[in-house]
Chains A and B, each alone.
Chain A
Amino acid sequence: DGGITQSPKYLFRKEGQNVTLSCEQNLNHDAMYWYRQDPGQGLRLIYYSQIVNDFQKGDIAEGYSVSREKKESFPLTVTSAQKNPTAFYLCATGLGSYEQYFGPGTRLTVT
């Protein structure tokens, strides 16, 4: 956890609604990441950003969008185009390929 906060911890939404997950950090790290974790699967990279106002798609970006207007913040929007949005979402910061620091996660349930 450390200097990374994610809110809320649990989130419930109806199918067809967009929802935005918050991620804030005070570690002064340039890089920030969003992962999705499903039962029995590893962490899969959704989007990442190495600098303000720039971000790249990860392996499963479809149905998601991000912004990086401030160094401290990297919100993730799960759009209605995401076919299976129910999952555990993890935000992380890091120093490139060195260790990453993870937030506590947000568990999203869409019904």
Chain B
Amino acid sequence: SQKIEQNSEALNIQEGKTATLTCNYTNYSPAYLQWYRQDPGRGPVFLLLIRENEKEKRKERLKVTFDTTLKQSLFHITASQPADSATYLCALAYNTDKLIFGTGTRLQVFP
């Protein structure tokens, strides 16, 4: 079965630096890969979607890359701020029915 790996350890970085989070998957590549932000006690919020034929997608301070050879997506937050502190989930879509979510990586940005 498909397996998604996100670093379970928290990522701690200083304000202003670039945060880079990793999402690795096994088996075959998804049609779409998505990133969500989740704050404690709340539902996830959609951030970005990237298709398998796209290498990179940007939105303001966010950038997502998708490497189907490495079976990996990287999620970057540039000029990070304490308000970016949250858990970030990656999700894979193989068909039109449903998503498979990773366990998420907690990001902590210190002033």
Contacts and interface: CB of A to CB of B under 8 A. Distances in A.
B13 interface: no
A103 B80 CA distance: 26
B104 A42 contact: yes
Contact of A97 (B31, B46, B101, B103): B31
The contact size tier of chain B is: 20 to 34
Contact of A105 (B43, B89, B95): B43
A99 B31 CA distance: 13
Chain B, interface SS category: loop
Contacts, number: 61
Contacts of A107: 41
Interface string A21-52: 00000000000010100001111110010100
Interface of B: 4, 8, 31-32, 34, 41-46, 49, 89, 93-99, 101-104
Interface of A: 1, 4, 33, 35, 40-45, 48, 50, 56, 58, 88, 90, 92, 96-105, 107
3 closest cross-chain pairs (CB), A and B = A102-B43, A97-B93, A96-B96
